[in-house]
Structure 1
C-alpha cells in the first residue's frame, strides 16, 4: 500500500511497485478509523510513506505490524526521483516475472453495503484502458498532460499518467488541484491538455478571464472531463473560453476507468452524452437480463479487456454484479441510434459528490455510533456546483438531545472532510417506500430539501459594509474567491455563489495568511463575514494566550 501526496514521486512509486507487486494507493486525507479498515482489509506487506510524513496511516500501520518504507525526494535529480530513507528489505536479486493477468492495482470502491469492495485490476485491464484513452484523445509524443487529479484515484492514474506513457508523451504531476496556480502551471509546463472533474473545470472558468493572455499564448489542444456529469453549459463555456474541444467521458473503477467518451473533431461531440463506447462493449439491459435496442432505457452493462474479473473475497457482490459476461454498472441510460450513451440516473445509491464516490452506509454507521442517535440514513441532496452533496436524516433516541452541529462535529472526527454531511436534519420519522424499506434515492424530495447552494439567490438585500479590520480583510478575501464586488457582512457564503470547493480555497488562504486552522464545520456554522470575523478573532486571541503562556513558562524554567 502507499499513502503519498500528489506529485511526481507518487507517480514514479506507483509505476515502480506495479512492476513487482500489486499496489494499493490510499487517500492521505483519510482518518485513523478509515486507514484501520483499509489496511486490515488489504493486509499489505508494506506501507510506503514520505520520510517524516505525519499521517494516521503511520499510526495504524505500526499498530497492525505493517512494515513502513519511507522515501525521500532527490531534489537535484529528474522529477520523481526518490531514495529510500532506510535500507530496503532484502530481495532474491531476481526480477519478478509479471504476466498480463497478474494484479497490478487494488482500489476500494464505495458501495451501498457496509463494506467497501476491493477491485483488483490486472496489467491487462490497465493497459487496455490506457490505450483506449490514448486513442480517443489522439495522444502523441508531442503532448504534455497537466495532471491535477489525485493519484489515489483511477481517473488520475489511468487517464493522465498511464495514457500519457502509452503514447510516449509527457505528464506533469502537480501537488493537486489548486485553482489559483492552474494557469501558471499551464504556462510553465507548456501543457497541451488536462483532464478533470466538472467542479474543477468550473473553478478554472471562474479565473479564466484574468488569464486571457496565457490562454491565447499557450493554447490547449483538448480538455477532458470525467468522473461526474458535465453540465452542457459548462462544456459550452469551456470550449468558448479555451477554443478547444471538450471531451466528456464515462468511467468507473471496475472498468479501469474509461468506458465511453465523446470523440475528437470532426466526429460530433454531443453535450449531455458521454459518447460512444471507448474501450469495452456497452449494452443496455432490462431487469430480466435481456439486452435492449437503441432508444430503450435500462441498466448500462459492459464487457471487455479493461473490466475487472470480479471483486476480491466477495462472492456475493460478484454474483449480483455479473450477468453472464456482462458487468452491471448500476447506472441507468440508453444508447441513441449513433451509439452514443446517455445516462439518465443511477440505480445504485452511491453519492457522487463532485466526482468523489461516497458510500452512504458508511456515513450511517458513523452517525449511529453517536449515543444520541437511534436511526440515521445518509443520502444525496442536489447541489448546483458539485452535482450532489451529502445530507443525512437522523432520529434521536428517547430522552436524548443533540443538534446538527454536534452530530457533524462527531462525524468529522471519524470521516474525511469530503464525507461529512453538509446537512443533517433531525426528524421524528424517516419516510419509507411502499415495502417499508428506507429508499435513499428520492429521500431529499420526500423530506422537501432544496439544493444546498443557489448562487445569486440573495436578492433585495441590504449592503452592510465591513466595520472592523478583520471584517475588511475577510470581505476582500471573499470578493477575490467569489469574484463578486458588492458584498454585505451579513451575506451568507452559500447565497452569494459559494460552495464547499470555494470554502476549501478560502480556508487555505486564511491558513496561509494567519497561520490559523479554521475547520469546515466552523466555517459553515459561521456563514457570514460578520460571524467568521468573530470566530477568527476568538481563535487569534486563544493563539496569542497560548504563545504568551509558552513564553512565560520558558522564562520560569
Structure 2
C-alpha cells in the first residue's frame, strides 16, 4: 500500500468510527452518503479494483456525470485506497482519454469496472490524479497531480488524528465530476469539517432555493453560473442565509458579475480563485480590486511565485513573464503570463497564447475582455487574435450584449480607455459564448466563428464624395493629431505604415467598405485616398 493510499484508508476508518452517521455528501434530490456508508462502499470497491488489477500504481479512469455524484465520491476514495492513480474523464476529454494515459481499468456507474489493460506508474512517481485540462485553446491534455502535494496542501499532517469538529458547515456547488475542483471537494470531505452538497445539474433558481433551505457557509461557482445566478435573482438578497464565502474559479470573474454577486450575498466575502489542475496546493485568491483589474490575490504562505522572461531567466522585479509556482520541491510552469507587484499581489495577464502580438506590440486579451465587460451594455465577452496581413495579428471580440448593443458606441468607449492597438477591429455580437462543461470559454471555437464571419465590404447605401472626403480628413486628423488638406502628403504629416493600418481599419468600419492599408501607402495624399476609395466602390 502506498503512503497516500494508507493515509486515505486510515482517514476514512477514523471518520467512520468517530462520526459514522454524519453526512459526508448530499445531493439536491435528497440523497445522502454518511461517513460509515462512504467507508464501507469505497472499501468494498477498492477490494474489487485490487482483484481486477493486482499491484499498485495502476491508472483508473472514472467516467461519471453529475447525476451520480455520490457514486463518484465512492469511486474516487476506492481508487485512492487501492493505491491506484485516479483519472477523472470529463465530457470534454478526448474519446481515447483512458487509453492515452494507459488506464488499466475504467469505472462507470452503468457498467462498473471494465479492465482495459495498461501500465502501472512507478512508486517514485506516486500520483494522486492524472487530470485532463479543459481544452479551451487546444486539445485537452493530461497533467499529473502529485500525492505529496495533495497531502501537504489539502489533507494536512493531522488528517487521521483530527477529532470530530464541534460544528460542521456545508459547501454548496454545482460542479461536474471530473474537474479538478470536484476532486478537491471529495478530498475536503476526508477532513470531516464540511458536508459537500452537490446540485446535480445547475439551475440558478433552484440553486438559490438550496441556499435558503440548507444555509451553506461556502458556495462554489464558475463565472458562467455566477452570472446566471445573479440574473435570475435580480432584486433579491441571499445574504441572510449563512453564506460566509463565495468562491469563483475556472476563469476570471467579470467586474460587473463580482459587484452583483457581492450585492446578492451581502456580508459574505466573494473570492476569485486562480489555480491549476496540477497545482491545487498553490491556490491564489482575492477580492476584486477595480484599481488592479488583473490582480488575482497575494502569494499564498509557503508558495514561491517566480516570473521567467522569454529566455527562461528570472525576469526583473515586477515585470511580466511566465508564472512559475514552487512549493516543497515541486515546480509547475503555469503557461500563464503575469507579474508580482510591489505589494506582493499576483497579476495574471492571460495564457501565453492569449498575449497577442499586434504590430510588434504585446497585448493582453484578458485586459481587453475586462475593459469590454466594464461597459454597461456588455454581459460578457471573449477576445482572440486573428491573422492580419500587416499587423500580424488583429484583435477580435465576440460580445454578449446585456441589452441591444451599439457596436460603434462600444468601440468609441473603448478608444477612450484603451490604447488603439487594444481596441478590437472586429466585433461579433453573439447570443452566448460557447463553453466547456466547467464554464470555460472555448476560444478556439470563438476564433473559428470570427474568422468565418465575412467582413462587411459595402455600406448600406451609395457613398458620396463629400462623405468620403469628410471621413478621410477626420480619421487622418484623429490619428495624426493635425488637420489634413486634400493635397497634403500624409507621410510629411507624420503618418507611418502602422498609422496607415489604423486609419484604413477605421475608414473600413466607418464607410462600410474594405479599405486596405496599401491604399494609403500608395496614394500618399488624402485626396488620392478619397479617389481610390470611390474608384473601388463604383
* Counterpart position of 2:297: 275
Gaps of 5+ in 2: 1-60, 116-121, 157-164, 357-364, 407-427, 438-448, 454-538
**Corresponding residue number in structure 2 for 1:230:** 253
Change (3 A) 1:184 1:116: closer
Asked if the contact 2:274/2:283 (under 8 Å) is kept, the reply is yes
C-alpha contact 2:143 2:277 (8 A) present in aligned 1? yes
| Larger deviation, residues 381-390 vs 168-177 | 381-390
8 Å Cα contact 1:129/1:306 also seen in 2: no
1:10 aligns with 2:15: no
> Does the 8 Å contact 1:106/1:120 carry over to 2?
yes
Distance 2:353 2:216 in 1: 37
Question: Are 1:168 and 2:193 an aligned pair?
Answer: yes
Among candidates 127, 140, 148, match of residue 124 of structure 1: 148
- 2:239–2:268 Cα contact (<8 Å) kept: no
TM-score computed with the length of structure 2 as normaliser: 0.51
Are 1:46 and 2:105 an aligned pair? yes
In structure 2, relative to structure 1, the CA distance for the partners of 1:229 and 1:112 (3 Å cut) is closer
Residue equivalent to 1:255: 279
Q: How many residues align?
A: 326
Name the CA distance, whole Å, in 2 between partners of 1:5 and 1:128. 29
2:412 equivalent in structure 1: none
Deviation at 1:386, TM superposition (A): 8.6
User: Contact 1:103/1:123 (CA < 8 Å) preserved in 2?
Assistant: yes
Matches within 5 A, 1:73-84: none
Q: Which one of the candidate residues 321, 324, 332 is aligned to 2:337?
A: 332
Matched residue SS, 1:253? coil
SS of the residue corresponding to residue 24 of structure 1 reads strand
Residue by residue over 1:165-187, the C-alpha shift from the partner in whole angstroms, topping out at 9 and shown as x without a partner, is: 44622111221322221112213
Shift of 1:250: 0.9
Among 182, 185, 199, which residue is 2:224 paired with? 199
SS in 1 for 2:334: strand
In the TM superposition, what is the alpha-carbon distance from 1:144 to its structure 2 partner? 1.0
1:129-208 → structure 2 map (5 Å cutoff): 129-130=153-154, 142-158=168-184, 160-166=185-191, 168-208=193-233
Once the 2 structures are TM-superposed, how far is the Cα of residue 301 of structure 1 from its aligned partner? 1.2
Q: Deviations over 1:396-452 (max 9, x none)?
A: xxxxxxxxxxxxxxxxxxxxxxxxxxxxxxxxxx54688xxxx7xx55x2xxx4433
Structure 2 residue corresponding to 1:291, chosen from 306, 314, 329: 314
Q: Contact 1:141 / 1:170 at 8 angstroms: preserved in 2? A: no
User: Structure 2: how far apart are the matches of 1:335 and 1:390?
Assistant: 24
Q: Distance between the aligned counterparts of 1:220 and 1:452, measured in 2?
A: 32
Pairing partner for 1:219 from 236, 242, 252: 242
Change (3 A) 1:272 1:283: same
- How far is 1:155 from its partner? 2.1
Residue 194 (structure 1) shift:
1.1
Displacement of 1:220: 0.6
What displacement does 1:231 show? 2.2
- State the match for 2:432 in structure 1: 499
| 2:49 corresponds to | none
Root-mean-square deviation over aligned CA pairs: 4.4
Distance 1:334 1:500, change over 3 A: closer
The 5-angstrom pairing of residues 415-426 of structure 1 reads none
SS, match of residue 254 in structure 1: coil
List runs of 5+ in structure 1 lacking aligned partners. Answer: 52-67, 71-87, 90-97, 133-138, 308-325, 352-378, 394-429, 460-493, 505-520, 526-557
Contact preservation (8 Å) 2:307, 2:321: yes
**Secondary structure of residue in 1 paired with 2:283:** strand
How far apart, in 2, do the equivalents of 1:103 and 1:231 lie? 34
Alignment partner of 1:69 out of 112, 126, 143 = 112
Contact 1:230 1:272 in 2 (8 A): no
In the TM superposition, what is the alpha-carbon distance from 1:341 to its structure 2 partner? 0.5
Assess if the C-alpha contact under 8 Å between 2:272 and 2:285 holds in 1. Answer: yes
In structure 2, C-alpha distance between the alignment counterparts of 1:42 and 1:182, rounded to whole Å: 36
Quote the Cα distance in structure 1 between the aligned partners of 2:292 and 2:384: 32
Contact 2:88 2:178 in 1 (8 A): yes
Q: Cα distance, 1:142 vs. partner?
A: 2.6
**Secondary structure of 2:251's partner?**
coil
Structure 1 residue 269: Cα displacement: 11
Residue 246 (1) aligns with residue 270 (2): yes
Shift of the 272–140 alpha-carbon distance from structure 1 to 2, 3 Å rule, reads: farther
| 1:174-206: CA deviation from partner (whole Å, max 9, x where unpaired) | 213222211122133321111222221111111
Any idea what SS the aligned residue of 2:310 has? coil
Change (3 A) 1:328 1:45: closer
Partner of 2:131: 107
How far off its partner does 1:272 sit? 4.3
Cα deviation for residue 42 of structure 1 reads 2.4
3-state DSSP class of the match of 1:151?
coil
Q: 1:269 to 1:144 in 2, by over 3 A?
A: farther
Q: In terms of Rg, which structure is larger? A: 2
Q: Distance in 2 between matches of 1:23 and 1:260?
A: 24
Q: Equivalent residue of 1:170, what SS?
A: strand
